[in-house]
Amino acid sequence: MDFRYTEDQLSIQSVARDFAQKRIAPVAADFDASGEFPLENIREMGQLGLMGIEVPTEYGGAGMDPIAYVLAMIEIAAADGAHSVIMSVNNSLYCNGILKFGSEAQKQKYVRAIAEGKDIGAFALTEPQSGSDATAMRCRAVKQADGSFIINGKKSWITSGPVAKYIVLFAMSDPAKGAKGVTAFLVDTAKAGFHCGKTEPKLGIRASATCEIEFTDYHASADEVLGAEGEGFKIAMGVLDAGRIGIASQAIGIARAAYEATLDYVKERKAFGVPIGSFQMTQSKIADMKCKLEASTLLTLRAAFAKGETEKNGGRFGTEAACAKLVSSEAAMWITHQAVQIHGGMGYSKEMPLERYFRDAKITEIYEGTSEIQRLVIARNETGLR
């Protein structure tokens, strides 16, 4: 693994940082307060190549590697967690899944406009009764004589559900087969039989739109099956390995923003006649924040590197991705918590962004597999036991 970044990686990092600081950071608090979806910014991020970073240029993307994706995600997340999750789902759960498992015709039809940010993509696995236990899904796809499917059921907590043009959907096509009975579909939200529920009010990442979606006799043609029938669960798990690198990067961005604000504050704010950064108790927190941030960043770059190598050589990178997500999300929660504490009353005030960072950090321990599920994945892979 090379610790020096390539010109491409540095260039997308710089593009993302510039956009994040000039266009997102100044409005992030307003979007958080209103909960409005930042559609115009997302479209512009698409024009800059940020909505399809690893998508080859022939399908409308930036044609870069997983390290470039991590660097750009961190910059966007440092300005706003909500923008970064919209970017992460679009890049790693939607585009990545179709690139990896889709036919040439599907890549042509479903990737370009989404990678360019003209339309938005989503990923629907979770249901009201099944989150961690994803194979307990009830959304049902019944095969017809002509090879098409009729889909009925609900999916919950779908990021970008209210605004998505297309959704990668997982439904049970053969309940008797459990995980091997799940099939993946490419859903067009403009078609009959697709319904969107109300947008969920949330603790953090409030400008990202999350909703329940429902299928009533939705007709999916054979061309709209992603991968092979019955391979859906493996597709979901493989795609989530990539997604977890995106969420790890989101966590690092949020934590970095909280850390940088804290570094400024401890030098300015005085108590007992000295800057609060002079107290050893504060210094200890600063040192631990720095170490956790560095460790998270290295693990996440390591996972991105493993993803790049895996794509060349085959194999899985699930352990690396789960380690990165687990460590980075728990670090983000700890760092934002300490950042609020070090800011005292101002940490609790909406006049400063610390309370928003704290609220936004929490979700990184929950979605794309809770911390308990990351531990389960790592321990199962390491021990071979279930």
Q: Of ligand FAD, ligand CAA, none, which one sits near residue 318, judging by CB under 5 to 8 A according to partner kind?
A: ligand CAA
Query: Helical H runs in the chain?
Result: 7-19, 28-34, 39-47, 66-79, 81-88, 96-101, 104-110, 112-115, 232-268, 280-313, 318-342, 345-348, 354-363, 371-383
Shortest Å, Cβ 346 to ligand FAD = 27
Which of 7, 231, 368, 372 is labelled catalytic? 368
Q: Are 269 and 300 in contact, with CB atoms under 8 Å apart?
A: no
Tell me the C-alpha to C-alpha distance, in Å, between residue 327 and each of 44, 48, 99, 288, 376: 31, 30, 28, 14, 14
Contact string 346-375 vs ligand FAD (x = CB under 6 A): -----------------x--xxxxx-xx--
| Type of residue numbered 176 | A
Residue identified by tokens 């390591």 is: 302
Mark 122-139 as b/e (b = at least 16 C-beta within 10 Å). Answer: bbbbbbeebbeebeebeb
Selected range binding ligand CAA among 28-36, 68-76, 111-119, 237-245, rule: CB under 6 A: 237-245
Q: Which is nearer to ligand CAA, 135 or 148 (CB)?
A: 135
- The closest alpha carbon to 7, from 56, 67, 75, belongs to 67
CA 176-179-181 angle, to 5 degrees, is: 50
**368 has catalytic annotation:** yes
Query: Is the CA virtual torsion 246, 209, 135, 128 positive or negative?
Result: positive
Contacts with ligand CAA, 82-101, as mask; x by CB under 6 A: ---x---x------------
Site for ligand FAD in 140-159 (CB under 6 A): 157-159
Please identify which residue in 113, 124, 226, 340 interacts with ligand FAD, judged by CB under 6 A.
124
Q: Are 235 and 101 in contact (CB under 8 A)?
A: yes
**Is residue 323 classed exposed, middle or buried when 0-12, 13-18 and 19+ CB atoms within 10 A define those classes?**
buried
- Of 94-102, 192-200, 333-341, 372-380, the segment contacting ligand CAA by CB under 6 A is 372-380
Q: Is 134 in the site for ligand CAA (CB under 6 A)?
A: yes
211 belongs to the binding site for ligand FAD (CB under 6 A): no
Binding mask 87-116 for ligand FAD (x = CB under 6 A): --x---------------------------
341 φ, ψ to 5°? -60, -45
Amino acid at the residue 168: V
Least Å distance between CB 10 and ligand CAA?
A: 27
Give the pairing type, strands 270-271 and 210-220.
Answer: unpaired
Q: Does 367 bind ligand CAA (CB under 6 A)?
A: yes
Q: Which of residues 285-324 bind ligand CAA (CB under 6 A)?
A: 316, 318
Instruction: Name the residues that contact ligand FAD, by CB under 6 A.
Output: 89, 122-126, 131-132, 157-159, 202, 210, 363, 366-370, 372-373, 376
Interface contacts to ligand CAA, rule CB under 6 A: 85, 89, 123, 125-126, 132, 134-135, 159, 179, 233-234, 237-238, 240-241, 316, 318, 367-369, 373, 376-377
Q: Which residues are annotated as catalytic?
A: 368
